[in-house]
Amino acid sequence: MKSMYNRSLVINPMDFDIFVGMDVDKKSICLTTLDHQGVEKPLKMPYNSGNLIGYLRRHFADKRVALAYEVGPTGYGLYDDLTAAGFRCLVVPPADTPQSRSDRVKTNRIDSRKLAHSLRGGELHSVHVPSPIYRQLRHLVALREVFVCQSRADKFRIKGMLLLESIPYPDPCPRGYWSGPAVKRLEILPCEPILRFKLDQLLASMRFADERLHESNKTIRLFIGAHPDLSHNNSLLITVPGIGQVVSAYLLARIADPTVLDNPRQLAALLGLVPTEHSTSDRTRRGSITRLGDPATRNKLIETAWTSIRFDPELRQYYERIRSRHPAPVAARKAIVAVARKLTTRIFAVLKYRQPYTARSPQLMQQP
């Protein structure tokens, strides 16, 4: 299943005269122009949208031009400039660009030529380019994830060092291994001077990451509250059982404009929660989930599913039903992923129809 596509994110080749495939890096744009008669022209220029727009206007002033380039580290700046200048541009996922298994040579010129031919053939679909507000939110949640990973890594290193040196970890406090009292016990834990130095440095690094994480959470809340559209979508998402402010921010950053969604399957595909499939003839074979899209958002949604089944009887029944169908070693894992997939339908509903989630009554759930 393709990622989150929309009818407005494809082009009809008969509506355009010139097709431009671009391979973009931080220093240059390698492009290939192609028309319906098959006339090609390769060109390379410095990475400057102004130069590209000037070239298109000089050589194709009376032509209808469509352009395409692959998503990459240069982001959406080129797309913004081209669309502002009145050109139609697609931003294409690299995995969805048609490739031949016999291809063994890859250059910028060859890549731009492939894009131009695929664009003329109507084979390319564009990702939905988020507005600047959602791009800024993505930066914030990505920064938050950096500090989450840093704090987690420091905790693993501390526990690993104590295990390596056969130093018993202090008795855990009722509030957990990393609560304030537990960390204070680590600060006074007797050990050799070098080990003490390493432990102090790791604790300082963990505290720094936790402080930055707190600041990131605060900034995300303020940013969402300062934008009415974000704030309204956030208020809708947190009505779904299990979804809190953090998960809501991750979802909003990844989904961006919910109006481009046509059905819940697109959202599930965007988060990588649809099964892989290899079916032939009368045989249908489905495998594990695709795991496409942002892994942090997908993992957050799966964690949310564990909370959801505690508060939503309908989801709890669904979880138990799926778990009963699988062998014990994998039953819980498969069932909770299925619950996360089901949550995407609720997320789609509240965002698409702009209404808060309302749980079904137990009486309705018991009806056949």
Q: How much is the pLDDT for 96?
A: 78
In a shared domain, residues 152 and 81: no
What pLDDT is recorded for position 31? 96
Residues 198 and 299 in one domain: no
> Domain check: are 206 and 279 in the same one?
no
- 234 assigned to some structural domain: no
pLDDT of residue 44: 96
Interatomic CA distance for residues 341 and 267, integer angstroms:
9
**Domains: count for the chain:** 3
Residue 246 lies in a domain: yes
Boundary of a domain, candidates 226, 254, 278: 226
pLDDT of residue 101: 73
Residue 1 lies in a domain: no
Question: pLDDT for 227-278, tens place per residue?
Answer: 999 999 999 999 999 999 999 999 999 999 888 888 899 999 999 999 888 7
Q: Do 89 and 138 lie in a common domain? A: no
Asked whether residue 268 falls in the same domain as residue 347, the answer is: yes
pLDDT value of residue 364: 37
Whether residue 317 sits in one domain with residue 213? no
pLDDT per position in the chain (368 positions), as tens? 344 434 447 889 999 999 999 999 999 999 999 999 999 999 999 999 999 999 999 999 999 999 999 999 999 999 999 999 999 999 998 877 887 777 778 899 999 999 999 999 999 989 889 999 999 999 999 999 999 999 999 999 999 999 999 999 887 677 778 888 889 999 999 999 999 999 999 999 999 999 999 999 999 999 999 999 999 999 999 999 999 999 999 999 999 988 888 889 999 999 999 988 877 767 777 788 989 889 999 999 999 999 999 999 999 999 999 999 999 999 999 999 999 999 999 999 999 999 999 876 444 344 33
Residue 127 in any domain: the answer is no
State residue 360's pLDDT score. Answer: 64
Q: Domain check: are 249 and 354 in the same one?
A: yes
Same domain, 358 and 249: yes
Q: Pick from 131, 123, 126, 119: which is nearest to 4 by CA?
A: 126
Nearest-angstrom CA–CA distance, 129 and 107: 26
User: 226, 255, 287: which is the final residue of a domain?
Assistant: 226
Domain membership flag for residue 125: no
Domain closes at, from 196, 226, 256 = 226
| Residue 57 shares a structural domain with residue 174 | no
Q: Let me know if residue 184 belongs to a domain.
A: yes
Residue 231 in domain:
no
- Token readout for 304 is 């949310």
Nearest 5°: phi and psi at 274?
-100, 150
Residues 357 and 246 in one domain: yes
Q: Do 171 and 102 share a structural domain?
A: no
Domain span including residue 151? 132-226
Do residues 21 and 116 both lie within one domain? yes
188 falls within a domain? yes
